C-alpha cells in the first residue's frame, strides 16, 4: 500500500473520529443545558419543600403531590405565579408524572415552533421545553389540551412517555398532576397510541368527547375506559426512529 493511500486512510479515520467527538459533545451539551434549566427552576416547583419528587426508579416512586389537598393546590398556584413573574410569563403550569422524569413547567407561545428549540428563559436549546399547542386555551378550558415535548434519549423532557406502552405500568401508576395559576388538575392516564404528526383528531383542541374517545378506543395500543367525563390532556412526542409519527399519552383532567 502506497504512502498516499495510507495517509488518505488515516485522514478519513481522523475525520470520522472528530465528527463522532463533536456529535458526542453536542449531545452532552444539550443534556447539560436541559439539566441546568431544570435545576434553576426547581425552587419554584410546587410543594418542593415536601420532598415528594417524581423519580426515575418506579420502585422508589411516591405519588406527587396530593392534588386533592387544598393547601397543596394553593402552594402550587402560588408557585406558578412566581414562575411567571420571575422567569417567563409564557409559563402556564407545572406538569409532574410519578415514576418518570417528567417534572417540568409548561409554556405557550404564539406558534408551535419557538419552544421546540428554546428553553424557558428564551435561550436557544436543542432540548426545547414542554409547551402547549398555541391553539389551545391557556387555562386548560378546552375539551382537549395538547402539550408537546422532545423524546430525549436520556429520558428527560417527554422521553419517558414510552414507559406507558407497558399496560401494567399505565394501570399501576399513580395519577399525575398539573398546577396552573388558577387550578390544580389530577391526571388519570387511560390511553397510549401512535399517530401521524398531522392527525386531525388527536391534534384538535375543539374535538367533541364522543368523536375523540371513539377514535382513541380503535387505535390505542393500551387503553382503559376513563372513569370521568372530564376534559382530556394529550401529551405528544416524536416516536423513536420515525420523524413522521408521534407517541401520544392521554389522560382525563379533573379539577380539584
Per-residue model confidence as pLDDT tens for the chain (256 residues): 566 665 455 544 544 444 434 443 344 457 888 989 999 999 999 874 443 344 444 433 344 444 445 455 565 678 899 999 999 999 999 999 999 999 999 999 999 999 999 999 999 999 999 999 999 999 999 999 999 999 998 999 999 999 999 999 999 999 999 999 889 999 999 999 999 999 999 999 889 999 999 999 999 999 999 988 889 999 999 987 667 899 999 999 999 8
Cβ 129 vs Cβ 123: under 8 Å? no
How high is the pLDDT of residue 74? 60
Taking CA atoms, 40 is separated from 37, 49, 94, 157, 241, in Å, by: 5, 15, 14, 15, 31
Q: How far apart are CA 127 and CA 31, in angstroms?
A: 7
Cβ 103 vs Cβ 54: under 8 Å? yes
DSSP 115: G
- Ramachandran angles phi, psi of 176, nearest 5°: -90, -175
Q: How far apart are CA 170 and CA 174, in angstroms?
A: 9
Tell me the CATH number for domain 38-255.
2.40.260.10
Amino acid at each position: 500500500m502506497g504512502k498516499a493511500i495510507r495517509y488518505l486512510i488515516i485522514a478519513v479515520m481522523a475525520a470520522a473520529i472528530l465528527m463522532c467527538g463533536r456529535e458526542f459533545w453536542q449531545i452532552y451539551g444539550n443534556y447539560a443545558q436541559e439539566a441546568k434549566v431544570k435545576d434553576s427552576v426547581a425552587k419554584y416547583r410546587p410543594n418542593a419543600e415536601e420532598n415528594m419528587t417524581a423519580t426515575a426508579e418506579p420502585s422508589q416512586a411516591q405519588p406527587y403531590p396530593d392534588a386533592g389537598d387544598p393547601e397543596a393546590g394553593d402552594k402550587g398556584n402560588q408557585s406558578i405565579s412566581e414562575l411567571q413573574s420571575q422567569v417567563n410569563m409564557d409559563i402556564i403550569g407545572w406538569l409532574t408524572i410519578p415514576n418518570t422524569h417528567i417534572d417540568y413547567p409548561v409554556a405557550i407561545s404564539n406558534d408551535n415552533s419557538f419552544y421546540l428549540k428554546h428553553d424557558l428563559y428564551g435561550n436557544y436549546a436543542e432540548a426545547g421545553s414542554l409547551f402547549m399547542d398555541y391553539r389551545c386555551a391557556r387555562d386548560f378550558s378546552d375539551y382537549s389540551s395538547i402539550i408537546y415535548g422532545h423524546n430525549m434519549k436520556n429520558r428527560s423532557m417527554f422521553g419517558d412517555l414510552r414507559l406507558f406502552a407497558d399496560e401494567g405500568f399505565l394501570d399501576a401508576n399513580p395519577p399525575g398532576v398539573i398546577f396552573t395559576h388558577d387550578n390544580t388538575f389530577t391526571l388519570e392516564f387511560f390511553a397510549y397510541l401512535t399517530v401521524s404528526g398531522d392527525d386531525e383528531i388527536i391534534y384538535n383542541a375543539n374535538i367533541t368527547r364522543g368523536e375523540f374517545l371513539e377514535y382513541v378506543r380503535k387505535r390505542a395500543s393500551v387503553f382503559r375506559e376513563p372513569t370521568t367525563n372530564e376534559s382530556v390532556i394529550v401529551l405528544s412526542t416524536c416516536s423513536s426512529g420515525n420523524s413522521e409519527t408521534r407517541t401520544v399519552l392521554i389522560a382525563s383532567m379533573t379539577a380539584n
